[in-house]
Structure 1
């Protein structure tokens, strides 16, 4: 049986979810012995903690600076520093590799990719290294000469990698790897009943747990002011302050309001609604596409979120609301059928692109060449 070690970080929600979805697919196949580890916890130390705090500080407080750091221009100067950074934090990862002895390591974030690449150059790991993306663009900082296979979410990533000189045999287009529960049919009636919604009325889902406090509150206020009748369900995640503020808002005769807090079965909730409002995170968008939901993306931070948003908007996979008022207007237009959304086309673009292969088949064929 092929042994696979999956490494992720918890810095980005999508990075962790992608790793978990890969793990679930491999275990279910019965063809792989898989293990999943949080690289941040594995290499927890002062250096890693400082980098994590810097990341969250800039993305949340000064996102425009993060956008500049994320740019390709800055990457030209930071890429040569990666081996030096990796040399400070590889020992626990190496111990895990020596104990588990994986044939393949799959990384969903650039930090563990850098560590494993460093170990390969030093002859401390002789297996294969696979990189799985969780966004809808490509960044040179994610790429290493030591990577044996890139799992691409979209065909455009593979095309760009080829232009950068990556050999075709090092590429596999799999589409975004979503949890299989989002691909299963759930009746609207059953889903609505679970969340105390009326299955006969239109419903809008606001995913607000990671959005700024005031942005989420204003979006809900603008939805409540809409002349179009619909229900509003808001998922606030673990953001208790946001949940408390939203609970102070009152429903209107045209709009029932449900503040749901943290939800563990969002695939069911998505089956009860007609529109999703969300940040442009890779897995969240793919989950909504798998459910056939029109999506309004908003509050995209500079950097990877903005690049994701541009791709989604360009291919009519999502609509971009630049402010809460625009978000509410787009929701109205979607519910009235005034804008076009082709759910089959969106599904083909990011869940099952033309010529794509399954995750397990990509890894199995790849492993046969060991």
Structure 2
């Protein structure tokens, strides 16, 4: 089958684009796809919007991390800010919205919540008919990622999937795939050749110090402390795009080039990850998932409040990482680990067990195989999911509990509504069959006159699509 696929990301950090690129690689090797486009949505927006969305966020991380943590926790429940793009986002994404409609893709894969919420808006308005998958890029769920309509929601770990199912999201719409990483990480590596290329002997532990793509200044602190460690090791320090940082690190290790190799930005991180014994850096979703895919233990530095702290929790729980809580003891903590090779071996095994090097292939395979329509979440169900997340299911009134409408033939969930919405619909349609109901487009106006919830009618209208009627079963 010939299909057009659109991959949408947003360059808030480098991870979302990296995940998108991993998906693109798999898609371009698929015989079922005729066209693949990958677009960084932020790069199509006005300069002011892009600056506020990206640069301002990282400045806030530096100046007021407590505020970032508060904002993350505030938006953790789903639908706190609704299920589609905000007015501010809509005003600044008109160009990409028009481009998406003109391309008219059969399938859209989103690796950031901004394009996911934008696509859900276009689908809700009826100006775009497509299937959308949302692919999360951190180990924990954050509410902004869940839109009011989607075909499949991919998460990094099973606990996250169970959390969403418990809240009420249909199980058939949530899949545990892992975070998409570069395909090289799932392949064997020519270890002797890589070691030789980077001046590593292979006789002592190799430490990979990463400053991230942007080049975080914390790398100098790490190197300064490692210089004084007595344990035998060699280190590769990757400074990213920060030329000034590379000069500083070069100056620090002058006279110690037998132990330290300094690089700028490199595309050879998959090779380095597969031959090194310990990664020292921040626990971004992509960095962490790539390390896990390579079986590379991590020493975690200065996680961003919110998603990176949650990533840290998971990696520590899995036994694949240590966390350096004090800037003053990074070198000591790394040295202690290097001096305990048995522990390092156990951590490497834990990392390999956690990793999902074929996550991108899992996502693409499922979405090219799956031909089901979108799931629609009614306004009332959105509110119920929010309340269940904030107050707990036990506090949710029975009338506000969510229930799914299913295709009776395939069993696939079609819509998520509340119990009270279902009861009102059954009364209005005088449905006698307790497990099945038919919705007819010609009767929709009559249902309005019977004061059926207009948001429910909107959901039913969206679920019908181009069909004149549909029969669905009740869960």
Tell me what 1:24 maps to. Answer: 25
Cα 1:269–1:52 change in 2 (3 A) is closer
State yes or no: 1:184 paired with 2:187: yes
Tell me what 1:6 maps to. Answer: 7
CA distance in 2, matches of 1:224, 1:172: 45
Give CA-to-partner distance per residue, 1:300-336, whole Å, 9 cap, x none.
1212111111111122122111134443233233332
- Alignment root-mean-square deviation, CA: 2.7
CA distance in 2, matches of 1:279, 1:285: 8
State yes or no: 1:346 paired with 2:347: no
Give CA-to-partner distance per residue, 1:77-122, whole Å, 9 cap, x none.
9614943234313422222222221111111111111211111111
Mapping of 1:66-105 within 5 angstroms? 66-72=68-74, 79-80=81-82, 82-105=85-108
Cα 1:51–1:282 change in 2 (3 A) is closer
Task: Report SS of the residue matched to 2:271.
Answer: helix
State yes or no: 1:65 paired with 2:67: yes
How far apart are 1:252 and its partner, in Å?
6.9
Unaligned stretches of 5+ residues in structure 1: none
Of the three residues 162, 169, 172, the one matched with 2:172 is 169
The one of the two structures with greater contact order (alpha-carbon pairs below 8 A, sep at least 6) is 1
Tell me what 1:365 maps to. Answer: 369
How far apart are 1:50 and its partner, in Å?
3.0
State yes or no: 1:285 paired with 2:285: no
Tell me what 2:432 maps to. Answer: none
Aligned length: 368
Of the three residues 299, 305, 308, the one matched with 1:305 is 308
Segment drifting more, 106-115 vs 45-54: 45-54
How far apart are 1:64 and its partner, in Å?
2.2
CA distance in 2, matches of 1:164, 1:350: 26
How far apart are 1:205 and its partner, in Å?
1.0
Of the three residues 39, 43, 55, the one matched with 1:37 is 39
CA distance in 1, matches of 2:116, 2:190: 41
Mapping of 1:325-344 within 5 angstroms? 325-335=328-338, 336-337=340-341, 339=343, 341-344=346-349
Give CA-to-partner distance per residue, 1:272-309, whole Å, 9 cap, x none.
32111110011212222222222111111212111111
Does the 8 A contact of 1:68 with 1:74 survive in 2?
no
Give CA-to-partner distance per residue, 1:157-211, whole Å, 9 cap, x none.
2111112211112112112221111122223321111112223232211001446
Unaligned stretches of 5+ residues in structure 2: 375-475
TM-score normalised to structure 2 length = 0.71
